[in-house]
Chain A
């Protein structure tokens, strides 16, 4: 298994008492488990504040876990020695959302792309430049761009550079945090094409994080739908987008196609997350049990899971 996530929880202390001991927590990621196989694309979809970016950061090791385990290639991240971790980290790279702030403005593209090779001591020094040129052509830029600075590129081109930089480590897996949401539609399509091609040709697995269900549906094999730090539905793209079971997935799907949705209120505050179902306050199918008792993910079919008391009725 390329990546295996078991019951992870990430809490942030948001209020401290007199002696600096935390008194209130925000559970950004609340008891999430899933797996990604080699070459598989798993999409994570949810609204702002649902914890999807925190989940991505936990997976590449940019955030420590409060509880739970993450396995990279069947090795537990927390138990790895520093050197082992560094070697494995090369295999799990991240592409960030904002291509304007995630590239150092004072580095030339050449240096931006050579840096990961130096850090991980990949290839002989004499071969590196040729490799970097090859990388640039793979992402649709030219060798002439090597001497330029990030500001000379458009948003879409910068996102290509961000992808090239992640690819420089020859990873097995990329965590893509909203890679296309800051781009215009016409440009977005070309980046999605590039990502789909890389996945096909190089068998790189993706964790594709986005707020847009249609984008996720286009690129992913499997989908996790998150709401207030929890996964409310998980399954293949066909299952989740054709026959969504959870009321929240149904609403998200309708909204993503531009239809009007019947929905009350707004997302609850993640700080005092409700005791029962996180979506209960906005759900149209709510009943008493939803408010007091939390439903765990239930198997609908093989590997298709839903966290709703009433999924078989709606």
Chain B
């Protein structure tokens, strides 16, 4: 599989303007996506998953955020060298993004149609009638009933799930090769969530798009990703196929996440909870960033940084004492 996106040792820092203190949001993330591959980036709030997505599109709020190290290559080109014009040609065309909250991401004063057409006009040289037709097709493709009516409606006239479908239509309008979905279903109901995920993956398979799915919910990842990357405090803790992660998890953090998911089957048993809280970017962390909350911590973890070790089958883990399963 040819490589589409490659992130190497990406570091992003955050500056507190009142006391000039620097915090680390991403501490050297490496990640790669092949063409048409579905990768899920999973982590708790504040672990840097959204910041990774924004860095890929060069949309980080700078300041206070700043990229302090590492490279991102998209189709073998270093994106940090891109000019403003090159960025404009790529965003929305080669890379589409779907944000978490569809209702605030759409502009309330324009109709849905106008907002989708804007993307098409910007990137494709088509006539007005073609643009209109394409928009109607897109609305039908994302499963909105009665596209002719929806095209003239405003976001407030649609439900959350319908707005998210509109966002997806905008993101895929120009046939991107990479779709970033940043918590696309978090604001939606469980049953609608399942429908939206189905849609995203049906579309990506049809159009051979790669997807970077960002989520805090391990459950939705199970059937919807080729690879899963577990993030904690701005570092990759573990990476592998869903089977590697769900059945053969090796990192204590992944194990903790899996064990802490409440399930009917565990009724009556005490849930395993990971002690402590997710650290803030301004905290001084030990050499292994998870050491303070790790049940298996030893002295070495606090002084020496574990390397990310990838085995032959592509299952990687950053831990001195991984579980054998």
B194 in contact with A185 (CB, 8 Å): no
B191's partner among A215, A251, A257 (CB-CB below 8 A) is: A251
Q: Which residues of B contact A265 (CB under 8 A)?
A: 145
B277 in contact with A156 (CB, 8 Å): yes
Give how many B residues have a beta carbon under 8 Å from the other chain's beta carbons: 41
Taken together as a complex, chains A and B put the C-alpha atoms of A219 and B264 apart, in Å, by: 8
A255's partner among B191, B222, B260, B261 (CB-CB below 8 A) is: B191
Stretch in contact with the other chain, from B85-93, B175-183, B266-274: B266-274
B194's partner among A48, A189, A218, A260 (CB-CB below 8 A) is: A260
B207 at the interface (CB under 8 A from A): no
Stretch in contact with the other chain, from B96-104, B147-155, B213-221: B213-221
B189 in contact with A47 (CB, 8 Å): yes
Give how many A residues have a beta carbon under 8 Å from the other chain's beta carbons: 39
Taken together as a complex, chains A and B put the C-alpha atoms of A255 and B256 apart, in Å, by: 22
Tell me the interface secondary structure of chain A in the complex. Answer: helix
1/0 contact trace for A247-263 toward B, CB 8 Å?
00001101111111101
List residues of A (274-292) whose CB comes within 8 Å of B's CBs: 282
Residue among B216, B261, B262 facing the most chain A CB atoms (10 A cut-off):
B262
B273 in contact with A258 (CB, 8 Å): no
Query: Beyond A255-B191, A261-B195, is A188–B277 a contact (Cβ under 8 Å)?
Result: no
Q: Which residues of A contact B278 (CB under 8 A)?
A: 184, 186
B262 in contact with A252 (CB, 8 Å): no
A252's partner among B190, B272, B273, B277 (CB-CB below 8 A) is: B190
B189 in contact with A258 (CB, 8 Å): no
Tell me the smallest distance from the CB of A42 to a CB of chain B, in Å: 15
Q: Which residues of A contact B222 (CB under 8 A)?
A: 258
A256 in contact with B190 (CB, 8 Å): yes
B264's partner among A237, A255, A282 (CB-CB below 8 A) is: A237
B193 in contact with A186 (CB, 8 Å): no
Tell me the smallest distance from the CB of B146 to a CB of chain A, in Å: 12
Tell me the smallest distance from the CB of A30 to a CB of chain B, in Å: 19
B263 at the interface (CB under 8 A from A): yes
List residues of B (180-213) whose CB comes within 8 Å of A's CBs: 189-195, 197-198
Cβ-closest 8 pairs across A and B: A217-B264, A189-B260, A189-B273, A258-B219, A190-B273, A186-B274, A47-B189, A218-B262
